[in-house]
Amino acid sequence: MTQISAAPEGQPEPVTQIDCARAGIVTPAMRAVAKKEGRDPEFVREGVAAGRIAIPANVHHESLSPEGVGGGLSTKVNVNLGISGDLADEAEEWKKVDVALELGAHAIMDLSNSGKTRAFRTRLIEKSPAMIGTVPMYDAIGYLEKALVDITAEDFLDVVRAHAEDGVDFVTIHAGMNRRTIESFRETGRLTNIVSRGGSLLFAWMEATGNENPFYEFYDDVLAILHEHDVTISIGDAMRPGSTYDASDAGQIAELIEIGKLTRRAWDAGVQVMVEGPGHMALDEIAANMKLEKRLCHDAPFYVLGPLVTDIAPGYDHITAAIGGAIAASSGADFLCYVTPAEHLRLPDADDVREGLVATLIAAHAADIAKGVPGARDRDNRMSDARRRVDWEGMFAEALDPVKARRYFDSAPPSNDGTCTMCGKMCAMRTVNRIMDGLTVDLNLQ
């Protein structure tokens, strides 16, 4: 847990990271983030105080290794997993957790939506040094054992409270989809309508009951729960585009305007904020959307799904998302949610998780190089040096996925040391190394 100094007499005790930052306190979590990022702790504290940086760190998450998300820091990557009603295989979900932690995911979102999910969630929080996120809306029906239309606003708050008490570091709350947002959506229309699962459930509840979005109407109550446990609110984009056709439309932008207002209200309540974004989006729209979010949401950290830059690559959407993610992060996004090859097709398995996570880690790292994040090039330089020396173990050590790299190399071992089967004795590295060492270059290929 984060230890903080006592507040001056007459002032409330600081509870959250943003409370502490505004009080001039550098918490252990801030110091841990600064060390990881190669930044001065005061740089991190100032960023948290201003809302540019969030450190999702629930006071109950004992195993957490804190991460910072936001301006001037490396791009973080999230993995989605969780038990599905159609394919409930808890053992497979734990395999996915192991892959995520092995490859260095910074966050894991438990999107379980079947039955009583608390046991899986609490065990995940106990095990994981990565940040844990959830979408309480997904859990509401199973947790409450009620039909959607019978759930009350207080019921929804009870689910948020349970997740906060369990130790979840950030929760997606679709608070920006209010009556004004829906009016824009209805007036302008869409090709793919509402594709957010949480957003669609809220839309259905609002339409069935005639009520306002409970997370918007009772937003202050949500914030009070989150503040008590230092849970970061990730303001969900219920109106994110589910196709490139719908990108940057009235529904998306209307919701983003509302989210900007909600961001300030959360900060005023001492709650850290991340803002969630698209979605599907053509290449030429991505940079402008990143800048628009930063402008409308006051430089709050931006968390994006992809964006997927084309709609016609099922089976390869980890690639379409990585292309968009690299552009998004290099243009200002701070946090990338991975997409797997199974996107739009089925629940991903552990192999899909590996492929999707590595693709997203590549996108994040490529963006960090472009943004000039301190130390971002160091690993690439070590890899390049190992390649010059044809040091295979050194190369595997620097690889994002050393397991796959080693498997490829071992599947076709070279006949000569200092080469691989791509070039053999004609390897440029081998040739120049031998010349530089004063040796003879033997190109006899027999």
Residue segments in the chain with a per-residue pLDDT below the cut of 70: 1-11, 115, 444-446
d(CA 288, CA 112): 33
Token pair, residue 200, equals 């669609």
Token pair, residue 89, equals 């295989």
Identify the pLDDT of residue 132: 98
Classify residue 237 as left (phi > 0), alpha (psi -120 to 50) or beta. beta
Angle between helices 428-436 and 378-388 (to 10 degrees): 70
User: CA distances (Å), 355 to each of 93, 104, 349, 413, in order?
Assistant: 15, 13, 10, 24
**Contact between 140 and 172 (Cβ < 8 Å):** no
Identify the pLDDT of residue 419: 87
| Residues contacting 382, CB < 8 A, separation 6+ | 394, 398
Q: Hey, CA dihedral for 267, 273, 278, 284, is it positive or negative? A: positive
Detail the residues annotated as belonging to a binding site for Zn(2+). Answer: 280, 344
d(CA 346, CA 341): 9
**Contact between 218 and 230 (Cβ < 8 Å):** no
Identify the pLDDT of residue 11: 60
Residue 38 CB: number of other CB atoms within 10 A? 13
Looking up tokens 């983030």 gives 33
**Contact between 374 and 38 (Cβ < 8 Å):** yes
Token pair, residue 147, equals 């039909």
Instruction: Give phi and psi for 382, each to the nearest 5.
Output: -65, -40
Detail the residues annotated as belonging to a binding site for substrate. Answer: 80, 109, 138, 174, 196-198, 237-240, 276, 303
d(CA 105, CA 217): 34
Identify the pLDDT of residue 112: 92
Q: Is the pTM of this model over 0.75?
A: yes
CA dihedral 253, 259, 263, 264 (to 10 degrees): 80
d(CA 200, CA 238): 7
Detail the residues annotated as belonging to a binding site for [4Fe-4S] cluster. Answer: 420, 423, 427
Identify the pLDDT of residue 446: 44
**Contact between 151 and 140 (Cβ < 8 Å):** yes
What b/e sequence results for 333-346 when a residue is b if at least 16 CB atoms lie within 10 Å of its CB, and e otherwise? bbbbbbbbbbbeee
User: Which domains does the chain show, CATH number per domain?
Assistant: 73-371 (3.20.20.540), 378-436 (no CATH)
* Planar angle of CA 94, 97, 99, nearest 5 degrees: 115
Detail the residues annotated as belonging to a binding site. Answer: 80, 109, 138, 174, 196-198, 237-240, 276, 280, 303, 344, 420, 423, 427
Classify residue 298 as left (phi > 0), alpha (psi -120 to 50) or beta. left
